[in-house]
A and B are shown apart, each in its own frame.
Chain A
Amino acid sequence: GQQVMQIPQYQHVQEGEDFTTYCNSSTTLSNIQWYKQRPGGHPVFLIQLVKSGEVKKQKRLTFQFGEAKKNSSLHITATQTTDVGTYFCACKAAGNKLTFGGGTRVLVKP
């Protein structure tokens, strides 16, 4: 079956620095979604990428879909304490089923 790997599993970031988390699928995707889960909360949808090579920005967050539609990245610039949480990619190959990555847990050092 489809496998989704997310790296790194943990990311300790100094406030104000940038970081990137990566998501890799074993199969070609129809689209990919990203979710954020705050500590003690539930996953909340951030964005969906559909087209090969697509890049979308949300303020300090930049999402990119790979040319082969098998990988994606999330880049956060000038990290703030509000960025704390776990970021999940969720991959859709076909149908309505999503396969989630293991998540990148982000900790911010003030």
Chain B
Amino acid sequence: DVKVTQSSRYLVKRTGEKVFLECVQDMDHENMFWYRQDPGLGLRLIYFSYDVKMKEKGDIPEGYSVSREKKERFSLILESASTNQTSMYLCASSNRGLSPNEQYFGPGTRLTVT
């Protein structure tokens, strides 16, 4: 059974703190993604990665960075958290090869920045 896990379900941080969100998948998937989900806006892509040490900007990368040192792990970093980064963060993975390449999501991390 495909499993995508995220390090925390709930996180509260102060403005200006550095925040790390970790995501691990056990499917040997090449692709990994970070989204944020806000009411009415759907899922917006922050960053994605096609392979180890590779990363590409999504639609809203400002204020975020990522790291992928191992195939199974994809980290999202908020260098200096701000209140407008309060959101639900979802990690996903997919394989590169066979269709339909559906994305498997983790349970999400609800981040509150005060």
Which residues of A pack against B, CB within 8 Å? Answer: 1, 4, 6, 9, 31, 33, 41-45, 48, 50, 88, 90, 96-103
Contact = CB atoms under 8 A, between A and B. Distances in A.
23 contacts: A6-B42, A31-B99, A31-B100, A33-B103, A43-B43, A44-B105, A45-B100, A45-B102, A45-B104, A48-B100, A48-B101, A48-B102, A88-B43, A90-B43, A90-B103, A96-B31, A96-B48, A96-B96, A97-B45, A97-B48, A97-B58, A100-B35, A102-B41
B94 interface: yes
Interface of B: 31, 35, 40-45, 48, 50, 58-59, 90, 94, 96, 99-108
A59 to B, nearest CB: 18
B100 A43 contact: no
Nearest to B38: A102
A90 B100 CA distance: 12
B68 to A, nearest CB: 14
Contacts of B31: 96
A2 to B, nearest CB: 9
Contact of A50 (B90, B99, B104): B99
Q: Quick one: which of A1, A4, A44 has the most chain B CB within 10 A?
A: A44
B42 A100 contact: yes
A45 to B, nearest CB: 4
Given A4-B42, A45-B103, 20 more contacts: A9-B40, A31-B99, A33-B100, A33-B102, A33-B103, A42-B108, A43-B90, A43-B103, A45-B100, A45-B102, A88-B43, A90-B103, A96-B31, A96-B94, A98-B45, A99-B59, A100-B44, A100-B45, A101-B42, A103-B42
Nearest to B100: A48
A56 to B, nearest CB: 11
Contacts of B59: 1, 99
